[in-house]
Structure 1
Amino acid sequence: MSLYYTNRKGHRHYLRAATTKKGGTRYYIVRHPERYADDELLLQLPSGFEFYEHPFDARVVLRKKLKSKITDDEVNIVDRVMSQHETVKDYILDRDKESIFVYQTGHTEADTFFDKELFRLIQQYDAKLRLRKTDEETYQAQRFCHLSRYYGWITLETSPHLGDLAQKFCFHIDKESLLEFWIEGEEDW
């Protein structure tokens, strides 16, 4: 049986290996295994690689394993806070080299005229909050600012306690009140 990864939309993604003109190996993610010879589809992941599903649109890629300053325990702290959230039940947590991202969809099944299956296929998530680990002792809660002067992630608060930041800001993920928090140390615009 060929190796595959199933994304949140229920699509199976297979890993295909092809030899390049120079004799190297190039890997591809494919959705239709019947189009390829059995020896082209891999049975296991190449060493040092992992499947990664993009939170925004569930696109699957093969990437090198990520070395992150963020531990599983830190992700679990944010997950526990989000799981207690009364109004947001549909969220995704992701991490990069130094941050935990909280993604949330802008719509629920009740907001749409589509059936549940179609809704699941078109649903997209946006990054609402980033909890960045600045060093071994401190974390920053950040939100994205779309104002041209400040375009990018702005720091709302810095604290040595990730749980406290998560408790304070995760509550506002689906509310306009998240926009009321402004850059740490600056007067409100």
Structure 2
Amino acid sequence: MAVTYTNFRGDEYYLHARTTKKGNYRYYFKKDDPNTEVKAIPEGYEIYEHPNGRVFLTKKTNKKINKDEITIIEQGLEEYSPIRDFKLDVKKESVYVYTYENPVPIDEKPAIVEALSDPKYKTYDVQLCFTLIDREEREFQVERKFYQGEKEDEWMTLDQSTDLTKLVEKYVQHLGQESFYQLY
């Protein structure tokens, strides 16, 4: 049976492989193409879904962030953030916070609001990043996305602390608020 994966949008992807010029395999996912010879995920690999639904097969990596720290960030977002629709993207030593903000006012026509709330059309934007900067002390740095000029991936360091709970509480409350753009 082929390796399949359904992302949050409900799109089904099939794992494919092709041989590179050097004779190695390159793995990739395709939608709507069940004709594949790949029957299992190769050892040392895992399926990764980007917060916006793209699907990849990546090599497994050692994440430096532990499950308790991820839970602190998730619970802090649920408790303090005005944005209810968020996703976390955990990379080696960083946790990126992606949010979805409905682009139309709630008092807009209900059909428009409902259509844009359909997962098929949602787009998540990265807003905050919590990065482990000292493994021994478990010290984290928090950065926010910086919007200025043509460069899109600029980050502004806001704070750092060994108390991740306080960092989360202090900064996630600004998501979706005008105050977010006043954080320095």
Structure 2 equivalent of residue 9 of structure 1:
9
How far residue 88 of structure 1 moved from its aligned partner, in angstroms, is 1.7
Q: TM-score, normalised by structure 2?
A: 0.84
Go from structure 1 to structure 2 and tell me whether the alpha carbon gap of 1:118 and 1:175 turns closer, same or farther (over 3 Å shift): closer
Structure 2 equivalent of residue 49 of structure 1:
45
Q: Which one is further off, 60-69 or 107-116?
A: 107-116
SS of the residue aligned with 2:175? coil
Structure 1 equivalent of residue 141 of structure 2:
140
Deviant stretches of 4+, over 2 Å: 17-26, 108-112, 114-119
Gaps of 5+ in 2: none
Q: Which one is further off, 91-100 or 12-21?
A: 12-21
Gaps of 5+ in 1: 183-189
2-structure distance, mates of 1:86, 1:168? 10
SS of the residue aligned with 1:33? coil
SS of the residue aligned with 1:174? coil
- How far does the alpha carbon of each residue in 1:89-141 deviate from its partner, in whole angstroms, 9 at most, with x for none? 11001111211111101216846716548832121111111111111221111
Specify the code of the residue in structure 2 equivalent to 1:167. E
How far residue 84 of structure 1 moved from its aligned partner, in angstroms, is 1.8
Q: TM-score, normalised by structure 1?
A: 0.82
Go from structure 1 to structure 2 and tell me whether the alpha carbon gap of 1:75 and 1:108 turns closer, same or farther (over 3 Å shift): farther
2-structure distance, mates of 1:116, 1:85? 27
How far residue 147 of structure 1 moved from its aligned partner, in angstroms, is 3.2
Structure 2 contact 81–175 (Cα < 8 Å) conserved: no
Report 1:1-189 matches (<5 A).
Answer: 1-20=1-20, 22-34=22-34, 36=35, 40=37, 42-55=38-51, 57-85=52-80, 87-107=82-102, 110=106, 113=112, 115-116=114-115, 119-136=118-135, 137=137, 138-147=139-148, 152-182=154-184
Specify the code of the residue in structure 2 equivalent to 1:123. K
Identity of aligned residues (%): 34
SS of the residue aligned with 1:113? helix
Aligned length: 176
2-structure distance, mates of 1:53, 1:166? 24
Structure 2 contact 95–129 (Cα < 8 Å) conserved: yes
- How far does the alpha carbon of each residue in 1:126-182 deviate from its partner, in whole angstroms, 9 at most, with x for none? 11111111112211111122235x972111111111111001111111111112221
